A and B are shown apart, each in its own frame.
Chain A
């Protein structure tokens, strides 16, 4: 196929990526604006970052968000990996269809419904809302994402490796620990990262599940931006975009290197 890029393709890529990135670029640009008025440029300044560091409400919310994120994504990774293993390797058991339905349904469930239903549950069982209930809520929806990521890896890898370990006298648990787990580790890690991002990002479910003492960063941001654009939120957004961009670019570089190394090893292997 002709791989040279026509002007049409170059234009659509340029316009497409401009559309995807320009709004965020503008946001970052105006976070360095000295003026309180967001759309009037009044010179370069980092004062909004300074004010952010002294805003205790934002710092508290960020701390809550971080704790919720770490706890819920860790729990979600454990539960999601278990669920994926059950789905792919568990064989037949009673209620398997219901089980797979419950894994896929939360992925398409509108957040308002998930949030509402969890809140009604917490009230019905008399659980006080706070950080703990947000962790429960986030664990539940992100474990489904983890299990989708992990089960796609489980499905593609060569099962005879596990069988060999079992034939050589491993117990199923040992075989899982020393054969399966190392192979699916990259998927488990990306599942954790996905769960963590989903938790950091979530506004709707957290709003339903949180109590007065447990405001997360998205809840804080949402109530601030409802009143319009603010330079402090621009600064906060810039920091968050920066962290995500660094993370994504680093992991993609690492995985690129890993693939290259693997290919090299394979190449050397064929030479031998």
Chain B
């Protein structure tokens, strides 16, 4: 029995160690290495056959050069800043779009709700790539939106939406909307409706009751939704590369190009390490928010 328990723990444990933790340590190690024209394209390479001196030499060759390079080349810190900016703005936009939908879902008759839920979840199961791609035909210069606007006479020449940050905002709001709607809906659905009635009885207008009662009570859901959008949006690759064009800097895309086009592995690894450090703060805050909610729920 004890052997079985040990095996049960060890199999997933070792798997995650081997395919999650160790690879990440390799990334850190390569970020500290130097670029080299060799196979593999970095230096030093750990040479265990040289014994202890080999290991010592290996560690003495590691340095922070790549990280210093990241701060010196404006491309990188501009990409980090622009990723933060794009992720923040699109999270806010997703909240603005998602809240009314979640609110209306929570107000809907009971028998509608399973269907509405399914309609929100269905896009999530559909390929992310296809959902992003579906916008290309709409917002391209000769796309449907521009055709329509030209036809109505509202504009005289096509709007340039494709290959701008606006296209990336649209892409992020569109693909991550379910992540915003679901947690907000969950808090709104649990809310005690008599609180609003009490507020109205005590002289609040409907609008004021919403502002003073509903909105504060749905805050945990809003916070959870914002993190669920912000965290993946920060490291996004598909959306900026399909919709953003070469002008829109996002760090996920920079990492990809550094690796596949420039083949500069140590710099790509250093970009990854810094991106992860940026993500640690929102992830820890998100974890706290979830814990607080769990405790409040008990």
Contact = CB atoms under 8 A, between A and B. Distances in A.
Interface residues of B, number: 85
Interface stretch (B58-66, B72-80, B100-108, B215-223): B100-108
B121 A248 contact: yes
A4 to B, nearest CB: 8
A87 to B, nearest CB: 9
Contacts of A61: none
A146 B194 CA distance: 38
B276 interface: yes
A12 B20 contact: no
A82 interface: yes
Given A27-B130, A121-B22, A110 B234 contact: yes
Contact of B119 (A20, A93, A95, A171): A20
B276 to A, nearest CB: 6
A252 B118 contact: yes
A204 interface: yes
Given A83-B12, A102-B20, A110-B235, A222 B129 contact: yes
A197 interface: yes
A121 B23 contact: yes
Contact of B122 (A30, A117, A248): A248
A241 B107 contact: no
B11 interface: yes
Interface stretch (A49-57, A179-187, A225-233): A225-233
9 contacts: A17-B101, A20-B120, A24-B131, A99-B9, A110-B236, A112-B235, A112-B237, A204-B238, A221-B133
Q: Chain B: interface secondary structure? A: helix
Contact of A30 (B24, B131, B137): B137
A133 to B, nearest CB: 10
Interface in A169-197: 171-173, 197
A16 B100 contact: yes
Contact of A111 (B116, B131, B237, B241): B237
Interface in B113-153: 114, 116, 118-123, 125-131, 133-138, 140, 142-144, 147
A237 B22 CA distance: 37
Contact of A16 (B97, B144, B265): B97
B57 interface: no
Nearest to A85: B8
Contacts of A228: 136, 140
Nearest to A236: B130
A201 B128 contact: yes
B139 to A, nearest CB: 10
A23 B171 CA distance: 11
B279 interface: yes
Interface in B235-263: 235-238, 241-242, 252, 255-256, 259
A248 B124 CA distance: 11
A106 interface: yes
Contacts of B232: 108, 110
Interface string B12-44: 110111011111101100100000000010000
A93 B13 CA distance: 11
B174 interface: yes
B8 A90 contact: yes
Contact of A82 (B1, B11, B197): B11
A225 B242 contact: yes
A12 B13 contact: no
The 9 closest A-B pairs by CB, nearest first: A110-B235, A1-B193, A117-B23, A16-B101, A12-B100, A9-B104, A23-B134, A83-B12, A121-B23
A256 B113 CA distance: 13
B168 interface: no
Given A229-B136, A244-B126, 20 more contacts: A3-B110, A12-B100, A20-B177, A23-B131, A23-B134, A24-B134, A82-B8, A110-B276, A111-B235, A113-B276, A120-B27, A124-B26, A172-B1, A197-B125, A203-B238, A204-B256, A222-B129, A248-B118, A248-B121, A248-B125
